[in-house]
Every structure is written in structure tokens, then in C-alpha cells.
Chain A
Amino acid sequence: MLYDIFYSLPISLSSFFCLTAMLLGALVPKNRSNIVMPYATIGLAIVFTFAALLWGRNGTAFNSMITTGMYPSFFDMLFSASGILVMIAARPYLQRMNWEFDEFYILILFAVSGMILMAHANHLLIVFIGIEVMSISFYVLSAYMRNQILSVESGLKYFLLGAFSTGFLLYGMALVYGATGGKMEYSAIRAAVSYGAQMPSLLLAGTGLIIIGLSFKVSAFPFHVWSPDVYQGAPTIVTAFMSTGGKAAAFAAFIQLSSVLIPNGGPDSTKLTYLLAMLSAASMLYGNIAACAQQNVKRLLAYSSIAQAGYMMIGIVSGTGRGTSGIMFYLGAYLFTQIGAFIVVSALEHEYGKQLEFSDYAGLAKRHPLLAGVMSLFMFSLLGLPPFAIFFGKYYLFMAAIEAGYTWLALVGILASLISAYFYLGLIVAMYFRSHETGEIHAAQPGMSGVTIAIAVAGVIFLGLVPAAVLRITGVLM
């Protein structure tokens, strides 16, 4: 029992900090309430440290309800890092919007603890609880600016569609439970599936529904419809968090569940893998093609995140250790790049929902050479140019695809990358090759968010130049 508690410290610690932060927010007088944000940041830093310390303690705890060890530890670090980066950058943004409340930081803590639960899950119920904790926090965070119609709309849309998709997920889980003869724990389900389920058609239906539910969470085509509107309407800082931490958490669950429900050599594995490959190809193409038409930077990044989810799904399709470690690397690279890009957007956003169009970015290179330079760096990374972080993730995933015999998927991937050059470069064209024409110009005040941006830049370059540092971590899993 003691060991169980010790090895699952990231889970318990993150929940502990959620609850105490809430108390702190309630007890400390309002005029001195700026203590919650540092408290939450330090809390996440502690979670991060413990996740790193518990590295390598592979095993299960609490009657095999949760797993511990490298895989969840990597994700714990990823989630807490994204939480920390976002919280540092959130303060100047919220203050500029004149809407800073402690609840914001507490909700982020809650979301992180939900994500951590998802990564640790070894049981269908645990993963479901994790998804719900995270998603509910996201619904509220999207609607956080409740005086802004866009934000409220985004929250409502996310909530309705999210609840619907959760229904799919839960129904799928129930079917799997029935089909495998009452199994909820991952290894038991895997064994049952490989052995041949009692009711194969129920299992197939259940797996399909779970894939749909998770595809919604990672915003893969055709279950992506919510993401552009939600990403655009939600406060930029929240979008930064949802599109990185949230996506990483969804993938943490997706990787696990797909290896459980679609084991190599399982009855329907060829069919289902093919289905996943189609989803991946469609997401890459659709996300990038649709992004070409966008004039709003947030929407552009939202569509591009659909495509990025498509790239990451290549790793799930390949179903190999290389694929898994490729997704994990990609998620790390994507975290720095995407958070960095959104924080630059948030630093330029002077009023809520304004200064987000391409025309507002025209001539940025002259006004803010540093911000423009950093933003182009993020765009080049998203585009997958070396020596930036995401390039290496793509390289690894394409490698996994070719290895697994999915060369056509890698070819679709390069075609999609080529299309994406158009809009990623389009933003650079605006920033560097055009000059500002209409409207007033507000000077950006990055403030503390400069710290996040600097860390993101360092991460993008470091992961690009020394990918071995992270691969040594993710590669252990192979």
C-alpha cells in the first residue's frame, strides 16, 4: 500500500495541489490573492520533479488500476511542463484583459491532474475519470471570459460536442466490457482480445466507438469540427494549453488503448489499423488544406493542429515501439512549438479577440523583430524543417510508417507537409514581406510571457539539435 502511494505520487500530489490551491484561494483575502498562481506553479514543478524521480519504477499499483514508470512519468512531465509554461504566460494576458481570477490557475491544475490520471490509467474506468476531469476543466476554461460572447460560445460548443463524444467513449467501453466477458483492466482486455472475444462483433463495435471518442479528443478528421471554433473563441492562453497538454493527454490514452484493443495479430487488427491509417491521412490532408484558407491566426493554428494530430496518428498506425516513441517525441516537440506560437499570438492580442488577423501581423518584423523572428522559428518547426524540433518527430514517424509497411501514409504525410508550407509561410510573408496598412498599431507587451517564449525557443532548438536526449527517454520503451 505504501509503495502504491509512493509510486503514484504524481497523481496524489497533483490532486493535493488542486484542493489546497482552491482552499488558498478561498481563505486568503481578495486583495492579496496573487498567491495562488505562484503556489500552483510551484506545485506543478514539484509534480514534475517527482515524475522525474519515479522514472524507471515500472509496475502497477492499486490492484492494477494504474501503471507507474517510464511511460506515465514522461507524460506527467509533459503535462506539468505545459501547465507551468501556460501559467507563467497567463498572468500578463489576463491582466491585460482585466479578468484575472484565482480560478483560472486552479482550473489548469485540475486539468493537469486529469491528464496525469489518463496517462497512469491501466483500467477503463480510470482513463474515463481522467478524461472527464480534464474535459470539464477545459469546458469551463474555454468559457472563462464570460463577458465575451465568443468565449461563452466556444465553451458551450465544446461542452455539447464533448459530452456527446464522451457518450460514444463510454458506450464503447461498455461494449468492450461485455464482449470481453467483464474485463476492465488493460492487460486482461488485451489477453481477451488476442485470444478471441466471446462476441467479436460487439468488440469491434466497442473498439470503433472508443476510437471515435478518442479521435474527438485529439481532434482528428472527421471528428475535428469543434476544434477551429473552440480554439478561436477560447482565450488564447487556454487554447495554448488545450491544444498541447490536452492533445498530449488524449494521445497518452489513445496509444495505450489502441495497443490494448488492436494488439498485433489480433482478429480485426488489419482492418482497424487500416481505419486508423485512413483517419490519419484524412486529418493530415484536411487540416492542412483547410488551414490554407484561414486569415485568422488562431484558426490557422487550430486547423494545423488537426493536421498535426494526423501526423502523430501515424505512430499509432505503425503500432511499433518506434512509432510510440516517435509520437512521444513529437508531442514534446509540438508542446514547445505550439505553446510558443500561441503565446506570441497572445502577446500581440491587445484586446480580446482582436489583432488576430493576418493583416494585423503585416510588417511585424519591423515593429517587433524579435517576436517576428521567434514566430517564424515556430512556423518553420511546425512545417517540419530541420534543425527544429518537429522535423525530427516527423522523420521518426515516417520511419515508423515505412518500417510497418505504410509507405503510402508517409507519402501522404509529405504531400500534406508540402501543402502546409503555403500557410505557415503565409504568416511569415505577412510578417516580413508586407508592411502595415490599416488600423492602429498597439505595441506588444510580452512581460512575463517572454519567459515562456524563451523556454519554448530553447526547447524547439534543443530538441531539434539533440533529439537523442529525449529519444533516450522515449526509446527505452521500445
Chain B
Amino acid sequence: MLLATLFAPLVGALALLLVSRDAKKALKYTSLTVSVVAFLFGLATLLNFDHANPNMQMLTMQGWIPSLDAGFRIGVDGMSVLFIFLTALTIPVVILAGFDSIKSQEKEFYVLILLLEFGVIGIFAALDTFLFYVFFELILIPMYFLIGIWGGERKTFAALKFFIYTMFGSLVMLIGLIWLGYYVQQTTGHFTTNLLLLREIAPTIPLDTQKWMFFAFMLAFCIKVPLFPVHTWLPDVQSEAPLVGTVVVGAVLFKIGIYGLIRFGLEMFPQSSFEYAKVMCALGAAAVIYGAMLAIVQTDIRRLASFALVSSLGTMVMGVFSMTPEGVQGAIIQTFNHGLSVTGLFLCLGMLTERRGTTLLADYGGIAKVMPIFAVFFAISLFSLVGLPGLNGFVGEYLLLLGTFRSPFLNNWTFGILGATTGVFVAIYMLKLYNDICFGGFKNDDSASMSDLTTKELAMLIPATILMIWIGIYPSTFMRFSEESTKALVGKLEIAKFGKTNYTETLKKLHKAPAAESEAHETHKGH
């Protein structure tokens, strides 16, 4: 199932190459079908996943480059399976959004979107650092073209800024990856990129060495998140990228960063995580306040939304580095929520700009009168971001703050209090945004003639909205998937730091290094 989810988009992208570029309908519907199929596979993966088991599941271990011990190793645990599901869920919406808004070079667009999906799912599924890196870099190419070809006026600049920023992070990470493999070579005798093996050995690296590797990885993921102060690519990309690109960045890309912080930060380098948790949380808190302050004064809708993203990502980073089950799970579910809300919000904003071609707040006002249905969906997305109880945002926000307050690692209420300010800020700028757009008189005569949502636009918004309400009311449908894995992770961290934990039950279920047997299996296959 996992393999099918991973490869469906790639196969689809290759198949699309064969479709003639003039057959626009065929291009559109083939790509939509492919993405829906990938989503169904993703759903099947989720349903097949045994959530009581905190180990990696659905493993595929295949030898690839013997001299590096790199392999095609994929598998999922409770955290990554959720990430994969959401990605597969978002892409059909993105493709649907592209139907109207992409008017040139359609073929390239659909091929790139599917390639992007392939890369992102690959990142979450990879259990091999080499494979992980390949996927991590692979997504740069489609993102670069998405921004550069269909973007706004300063698209070249935005695309280049994005590319160089992320490439800088990932190259530093590459050195970290090689160094890590080399460290293993010194202790066990041979170089490896096997993540299952590395995460057994990496925590034993002395702090002096470990911290540098930790920095290398954190730099890459903080850029990807993006965390203050390396967030500056985001506003440019968000305001220059085409609508669909904005949704992809806002709903999919930053998940990679959060996922990386958990997988490569907490799991691989626990001692460094303890050591620098306060620094990371302080950066998170700074992001919360800084992002919010900037969001309040923006006059451009897209820039406002992107600073809002910077701000709420701050709370997620704090949740991750609180190293409590609530915090980590909150971060995961919040990326999920945030993806949904941001997709909804950006789709709404996109629909506005499609109609009017402007992203300046001053050009709108009184829209609720002419577009009542739009106003409802827009409100739901906004309130989910604000964290209104009953909608998904509340659940995530609550867990994040709870985790930050209760964290035995941080042992400090300041971070929780700073993080909690996000609730106030977000209400200020989001309600202001809603007020400026939907209420008041028309500030521009064109507003009067705007038409309400079309069926296609409804089809884009409804799935996301249903999920927002679902998670708001009954979050455990999704959260149970990540529960055991999170507890296992936190249990290990607590044992490393305090020597005791409340999650011994979960830890007992963990297998010790399944890598050893897979190793024998691989060498067998390799020859």
C-alpha cells in the first residue's frame, strides 16, 4: 500500500508526459484521477496501519548502493503515516485549484505537481538518509518551476531566493548526514545510511560531536519550517507564487520541516535536543510574536497570511521541543490542521484574487453582501486558524500549549505564556482580515459585481471544511494513529534525561534494531 501511495504520483507524472500538450482536458482529468488514486492508496495505508504498534511498519528494504550501505528503505510509523495521508489529501485539491488558475504550459504544471507529491511522500516514508536526501532535494525542482513559471511579477527573484535558501540548508544537512554515517563507520566498521540503525547509534554520540550534527540538521529543517530568523524566504514566495504554489507551501512544505525536527532532532540527537530545547523554544516564541506583529500591519492579503504562518509555526516548534506527548502530538495534529485551514484560507483568497486580480486589502470590503456562501466558508477557515473551540485549530493549539506548560524538559512557564499570546494575536489579525474583506461598504466599485462560488469551487472547499469540523469535534480519529509512536519517542527521551518514564508499556513494544535482520536480507538480495 505504502509503495503504491509513493509511486502512483510518479507513474502518473510519467504517463502525463505522453499526453499531447494540446489535449488540455485529458491532462487535467488524468492528473486529477492520478492524485485521487494516490489519495485512496494513502487512505488504505492509513487503514492498514496498526496504531497500537509504535514500531516502523510496512517496511520495504531493498539494497541499492552497497558501498554506502544505502538502500531503498521505506516504512511508516504513527507520525509519518499521518503526514503522508494529509499530503495525499491536499494534492487533489491543489490540482482542482489549478484547473482554472493555470492557463499556460498546463502539461508542465500537472507533471510538476505530481512529481512534487512523489517527493513529499517519499520524504515522509524514507528510512534511509540517502534516500531521504534524494527526496528532500527532489522537491526543490518542481517548487522552483511552480514559482518561476506561473508566479507573479517578481517570480524569478522569489524562485531563486527559495531555491538558494533551501539548498543552503540541505547542503549543510548533507555534510551532517555523511558525518553521521562516517561516525557509525568508526564505531561499527562500516558506513551506513540506514535510518533504523542510525537512530539506535546516533543518541550515543557524545554531546560535543553530536551538537554539531544537530545544528546541521536543525538548520536545514528550520529553513524548511521556516522558523524565525530564517523565515525570510516565505513572504516573498507566498506573495509571488501562483495560488496553487501558495497552497502547496502553506499546506505541505512546512510539514517537512516539523517532521524533520521530530525525526532527526528529537529522535536522533536527544542530548542535543535537551541542551538546546530552550533555544529552539525561544526562537519559536520569537516567531510567534514577531510573525503576529508583522501580520497585523500587512496590507497585502498574501503577505498577511504568510506572516500568520510564521507565527503559528512558532507554536509548533515549541510543541515539538517541549518533548511531551501532548506537545509532539499537538505539533503533528496542528500541521495537519494548519494544512487544512491554510488550504481553505488560501483557496478562498485565491478565489477572491481570481475574480479581482488584486491582493491588497484596501480593494475589498462588503463582500459578504454579494458572496454570502463564500463568506461562510471563509469564516470557517479563519476561525479554525484562530482556534475557536469546535474547530480543528482549537485541539492543536490546546495540546501545544498544554505540552509547553507541562514539559519537564523546559521546566519553565514562560514559554507557555509566550506561546499563549498567539491566541490573542491571531484573533486580532484574522478578525481584522475578515472584517476588511467581508463587512463594511464596498471600497471599490468592482466588488459589487462579484459572483458567488461556483460548483467547482465548492467542491474544493467542502472536503477541507468537513475535516476541520470533524477534527474539531472528534480528533482521536486521527490522533490515535500517532499516539503510540509519540509515547515511545517521549519515553525514550525521558529515560535518557531522567532515567524514568511513564510510558514503559509502550517502550516494551519496541523492537530492538530491526535493522540487523533486514541487513542479512539485503545482502542476500544484493548479490
**A residues bordering B, Cβ < 8 Å?**
365, 369, 380, 385-387, 391, 395, 398-399, 402-403, 407, 410-411, 414, 417-418, 421-422, 425, 428-429, 432-433, 467-468, 471-472, 475
Contact = CB atoms under 8 A, between A and B. Distances in A.
Interface of B: 21, 64-68, 105, 130, 133-134, 137-138, 140-141, 144-145, 148-149, 155-156, 159-160, 163-164, 167-168, 171-172, 174-175, 178-179, 181-182, 185, 191
Contacts of B137: 385-386, 391
A432 B148 contact: yes
Contacts of B66: 468, 471-472
A295 to B, nearest CB: 16
Contacts of A411: 175
A398 B155 CA distance: 33
A407 B156 CA distance: 33
Nearest to B133: A386
Contacts of B156: 429, 433
B65 A467 contact: yes
A399 B163 contact: no
B211 to A, nearest CB: 15
- DSSP class of A's interface residues: helix, strand, loop or mixed? helix
Given A387-B138, A433-B148, 12 more contacts: A391-B134, A395-B130, A399-B191, A403-B185, A411-B175, A417-B167, A418-B167, A421-B167, A425-B159, A428-B144, A429-B160, A467-B65
B158 to A, nearest CB: 11
18 contacts: A365-B105, A385-B138, A386-B133, A386-B134, A386-B138, A398-B174, A398-B175, A399-B181, A402-B178, A414-B172, A414-B175, A418-B171, A421-B164, A429-B160, A433-B155, A433-B156, A467-B65, A475-B67
A426 to B, nearest CB: 8
A369 B171 CA distance: 30
B164 A418 contact: yes
A471 B526 CA distance: 14
A402 B175 contact: yes
Contacts of A365: 105
A181 to B, nearest CB: 39
B160 A395 contact: no
Closest 3 CB pairs of A and B: A414-B171, A386-B134, A468-B65
Contacts of B133: 386
A387 B65 contact: no
A395 B67 contact: no
B179 A417 contact: no
Most buried by A among B65, B66, B130, B181: B65
A412 to B, nearest CB: 11
B472 to A, nearest CB: 40
A391 B177 CA distance: 14
Contact of B175 (A385, A386, A407): A407
Most buried by A among B140, B149, B164, B175: B175
A410 B175 contact: yes
A429 B134 CA distance: 23
A155 to B, nearest CB: 38
Most buried by A among B134, B155, B171: B171
A414 B172 CA distance: 7
B178 A425 contact: no
Contacts of B182: 399, 402-403
B171 A417 contact: yes
B174 A395 contact: yes
Contacts of A471: 65-67
B141 A425 contact: no
A268 to B, nearest CB: 27
B163 A425 contact: yes
Given A399-B191, A407-B179, A429 B148 contact: yes
B219 to A, nearest CB: 12
A391 B140 CA distance: 14
A398 B65 CA distance: 16
A395 B155 CA distance: 31
Contacts of A418: 164, 167-168, 171
A296 to B, nearest CB: 20
A432 B163 contact: no
Contacts of B141: 380, 385
Contacts of A417: 167, 171
Nearest to A392: B65
Contacts of B64: 468
Given A414-B171, A418-B168, A402 B179 contact: yes
Contacts of A472: 66
Contacts of A422: 160, 164
A387 to B, nearest CB: 5
A468 B144 contact: no
B192 to A, nearest CB: 12
Nearest to B145: A432
A410 B175 CA distance: 7
A380 B142 CA distance: 12
Nearest to B134: A386
A258 B159 CA distance: 42
A62 to B, nearest CB: 33
A213 to B, nearest CB: 33
Contacts of B163: 421, 425
Nearest to B130: A395
Contacts of B105: 365
Contact of A425 (B134, B155, B160, B179): B160
Nearest to A433: B148
Nearest to A399: B178
Contacts of B179: 402, 407
Given A403-B182, A422-B160, A433 B149 contact: yes
A387 B171 contact: no
B148 A414 contact: no
A385 B140 contact: yes
A417 B67 CA distance: 24
Contacts of A391: 134, 137
Given A468-B66, A468-B67, A471-B67, A395 B148 contact: no
A173 B261 CA distance: 55
B21 to A, nearest CB: 8
Contacts of A398: 174-175, 178
Contacts of B174: 395, 398, 414
Contacts of B171: 414, 417-418
A96 to B, nearest CB: 28
B75 to A, nearest CB: 20
A406 B134 CA distance: 24
Contacts of A428: 144, 148
A264 to B, nearest CB: 19
Contacts of A414: 171-172, 174-175
A323 B168 CA distance: 24
Contacts of A407: 175, 179
Contacts of A421: 160, 163-164, 167
A425 B140 CA distance: 12
Nearest to B107: A369
Nearest to A383: B167
A102 to B, nearest CB: 40
A310 to B, nearest CB: 16
Contacts of B138: 385-387
A411 B65 CA distance: 24
A387 B191 CA distance: 21
Given A407-B179, A414-B171, A432 B149 contact: yes
Contacts of A387: 134, 138
A324 to B, nearest CB: 13
A365 B66 CA distance: 38
A402 B174 CA distance: 12
A361 to B, nearest CB: 14
Nearest to B147: A433
A104 B168 CA distance: 44
A173 B181 CA distance: 40
Contacts of A385: 137-138, 140-141
B364 to A, nearest CB: 30
B455 to A, nearest CB: 33
